[in-house]
Structures are given as C-alpha cells and as structure tokens.
Amino acid sequence: MKKKMKAFLVLIPPLHHLVLHFYLKYDIKKRIRVVTQTKPKQRLTTEEKKELISFFKQFGIKIQPFFYHFEFVKTVTGKFIKYDVPEYFLLEILKKYNESRVSLATTEKAELIKNFTYFKTVPVIVKKQNGLWVSSNNEFLTQEQVHEKLLAYQEVVVKKTLDDRAGGKDVVILSVDDQLMTKAEQLFNNNYMFQEVLGQSAILNQLNTTSVNTLRVTSTLLVNGEVFIHGAVVRFGKKGSRVDNAHAGGGFVLVDTDGCLGELVYDEFGRENSLDALGISLQQKELPNFQQLLLMIQKEHRQHPYSRIIAWDIAFDINNQPVLIEVNTKGPGFWLHWMTQKNNVFSNEIITELLDDLK
C-alpha cells in the first residue's frame, strides 16, 4: 500500500506548480475575455494542436494543458505562432538562465552606473542602502546633509532599489518639500534612492509629455556567445501619468528593425488602437542611432553571463542619447514583442536551446 501511495504521489506536481499554473491560466483567460470584446476568439485547429504536441514532445513537455496560451496569442495576432514559450515554462527557463544571487546584485538600481559601464544612467542625488545614507560618490551622509542636497531640486524621482518588479509600482515622482523624506520612508523604508528627473527626447515626448517614455529591448545570451535581440517597443504612460508601464494603464508601440515607431498602440490585453485615434501625431518616427544602441546592448550583455535573459529599459535624453533606466531579469515581457510584431520572437534554433535546458 505504501509503495502504491508513493508511486501515486510522484505523479502529482508540487503544490506550488499547480498554484502557479492555475494563476497563469486565470490571467490569460482574463486577457482573452477582454480582448474578445473587440475581436473574435481564435481557437487552435486540430492540425495546429498536432504541430504543438509533436514539437514540445521532443523536450518531454506535455503541451495540451497550455493550449490556452497559444489561443490567446492567435486571438491577439491573428496568427498561429508555434515557436513561443508559455509563461509557466518561461519562469523555469529564467531560473536556470538567470542566476538569482548575481541577478539581484546586477539589477540593484542604485548601482547601474557601476554594473553597466557602456551606458549613461540617470544621475543619483543620494541613496539609502541598508539604512545608510550614501552620496553618488559613495560618501556617507547625515540626514541633514541629505535634506540639504535635495533642496537644490523642485521635484525628484524616488525609486526602490532592491526590487525589479514590473508595473512602475516602485517608482514615484515627488515634489521637494519638508515632507519629502517622510513620504519616501513610508513608501520604501530602507532601500531607495533619489534621482534627478530626466528631460526626455522630443521624439519620445510626442507619445506623452507627462511620463518618461522608455524603449524596452529584450535580449538572450546564447550558448555560442551571440546575443539575440527579440524585439523592441516604446512604452508610454496614459495622459497625466508619470509612469510609462502598460500595467499602469499605458500603451506601447512597435519599434521596427530600422528604429521607426509603429502606428498601432497596444495595451496589456492585446487590444489595438491607432495613434491618430488617441490624438497622437508623430512628426518624427525614427529613433536616432538605433542600430548603434542594439550593438551597445549586445556588447553589454556579453559582460553579464549570469543573466542570460535581460529586458533593457532605456530612455533618450534631450540630446537623443540613450540612458539606461533599469534592467529586468525576472519578467522580460516577451509578450510585448509578439503582440507588436505579430510573429515569432524565438527562432526554431533558439527555442530549441531554451527548452533543451528544461530536460
């Protein structure tokens, strides 16, 4: 009886895997309900299901419970995209590809200037690290000295430093007054920083003047040392918002391989709208030095082999120079790219390399 019970338990996935699968399925189903208010749901054909089963079987993956993911992709894009990775497996890949102990240190937002040397970063006014006040030159400060430094600014960016969650949840812009430090302490406690407010490029300012609008580029460091760029989008905030993220009500547009902004705007559910319909008119569509920027990302990524999948958030300053805002190693947001490209963001070779590592 004990042997039978042990054999039965082996067949049951760990509880946290079941909970994760349920949550991800619920999230996708919610998105499908929203997007099908404006377009019909696209179901997988019998032939498409057979293709998926055959392809994922070689990696030991039973893909049938994840057909809902591919139906969501098909509903949004209008295409059957076989070479895609459901979020459930992507999270497992990230665990293997991005060493969490190193990734945390690499993405610590107050230290970007040290860890990513090819990029310009937003100037740090002062940072609080593990309860200690530290200047941008790594000099220890008293609270009175911090207050004095902040008085030189009208408003500042306040950002949590030991977190790389998406959604703009850990970034606020506050006016400098007598209550500033109290507000920051209530929001973020021990690990946060004050940064200057970035003046942004006129090109990106066209999308929304109140938010700092950023380019999101996602890259993977392959086993042969090459860096593959999956795609690029520009994210911008809703009118009046200071945050650019889609989860906070903003939108995003495609940046094509020539560095030109697309005409269609997407939200996190995959709903489409045109820039014209939103009252946005682009006088200039081409991002400056886009190809050079991609080369910078490839060069920089090779310096970080412990973080093999990175999402880069990059702004452009008033001189159209790229400025690294932050990097994300937990949620690269591949969905941003297949939504806007309406195509595979993984080649057969790359998805094979990724899924082989799950065996």
Residue 12 is predicted with a pLDDT of 46
Strand order, beta sheet including 272-274: 120-121, 322-328, 309-316, 214-221, 227-236, 251-254, 264-266, 272-274
Residue 112 is predicted with a pLDDT of 80
C-alpha dihedral sign at 45, 344, 325, 305 = positive
Half-sphere exposure of 317 (CA within 13 A, CB side): 14
Amino acid at 291: Q
DSSP state of 247: G
Provide CATH code, domain 101-107+199-356.
Answer: 3.30.470.20
Distance CA 52, CA 37 (A): 27
Tokens of 215: 């380019």
Distance CA 263, CA 276 (A): 8
Torsion of CA 168, 173, 178, 179, to 10 degrees: -30
Tokens of 122: 């937003």
Distance CA 346, CA 177 (A): 49
Residue 103 is predicted with a pLDDT of 75
Q: What is the pLDDT of residues 9-44, one digit of tens each?
A: 344 456 666 777 778 888 888 998 999 998 999 999
Residue 258 is predicted with a pLDDT of 94
Enumerate residue ranges in the chain where pLDDT < 50. Answer: 1-12, 167
Q: What is the pLDDT of residues 113-126, one digit of tens each?
A: 778 889 999 999 99
Distance CA 213, CA 101 (A): 30
User: Domain-by-domain residue ranges, the chain?
Assistant: 13-82, 101-107+199-356, 123-195
Measured in Å, how far apart are the chain's first and last C-alpha atoms? 31
